[in-house]
């Protein structure tokens, strides 16, 4: 597997009336380059729940493949040591994901369950925040109310809303 590029940056876009949202161009380009280096469909994004925060994470199919390989190695090592295997790790990493195709402008339909969990409903905004191997997708109101989120990220959300004329 080739070198991966990291997701970075910040953007705020609208969730349209059909539940579609557009992946920012810089993050879309990282998906395409990572897929080119590691395999998968360059017009697909994988969506999952964040393991801790009330938002979504999204990444390229090549990262899903790499994550699966890492889980297999960890499971084999635990079995070799005679330790218990946490089968929920695979459920979280594989069963609790959904792939979504996106068009040339990066638009995709947020999967219903994940949109509901993250409160990313039609007519709301979505905050995209780069986080290395994945990017987060937040409802800005949820982000602003969440404990443990970097205060500078919250300030960036407030600044971006004010600049866009949002309340």
Each residue's pLDDT, cut to its tens digit, for the chain (167 residues) gives: 458 999 999 999 999 999 999 999 999 999 999 999 888 888 999 999 999 999 999 999 998 888 888 888 888 888 889 988 888 888 887 889 999 999 999 999 999 999 999 999 999 999 999 999 999 999 999 999 999 999 999 999 999 999 988 54
- The set of residues, in sequence order, having a beta carbon less than 8 Å from that of 71 and lying 6+ positions away, is 89, 90, 93, 94
Number of domains in the chain: 1
CATH for 120: 3.40.1550.20
- Rg, C-alpha atoms of the chain: 17
Q: Is residue 2 part of a domain?
A: no
Give exposure, 42-70, as e/b (b: 16+ Cβ within 10 Å): bbbbbbbbbeebbbbbbbbbbbbbbbeee
Range(s) of the domain holding residue 67: 10-164
Residue 1 placed within a domain: no
Is residue 129 situated within a structural domain?
A: yes
14 inside domain: yes
Say if 4 falls within a structural domain.
no
Residue 3, domain member (yes or no): no
């Amino acid at each position: 597997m080739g070198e991966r590029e990291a997701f970075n940056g910040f953007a705020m876009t609208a969730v349209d009336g059909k539940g579609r949202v557009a992946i920012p161009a810089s993050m879309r380009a990282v998906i395409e380059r990572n897929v080119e280096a590691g395999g998968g469909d360059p017009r697909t994004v994988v969506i999952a729940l964040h393991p801790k925060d009330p938002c979504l994470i999204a990444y390229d199919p090549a990262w899903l493949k790499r994550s699966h390989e890492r889980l297999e190695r960890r499971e084999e090592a635990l079995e070799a040591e005679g330790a218990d295997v946490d089968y929920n790790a695979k459920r979280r990493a594989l069963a609790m994901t959904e792939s979504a195709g996106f068009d040339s402008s990066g638009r995709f339909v947020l999967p219903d369950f994940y949109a509901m969990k993250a409160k990313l409903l039609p007519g709301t905004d979505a905050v995209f925040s780069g986080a290395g191997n994945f990017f987060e997708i937040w409802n800005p109101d949820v982000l602003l109310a969440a404990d443990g989120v970097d205060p500078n990220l919250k300030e960036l959300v407030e600044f971006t809303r004010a600049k866009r004329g949002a309340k």
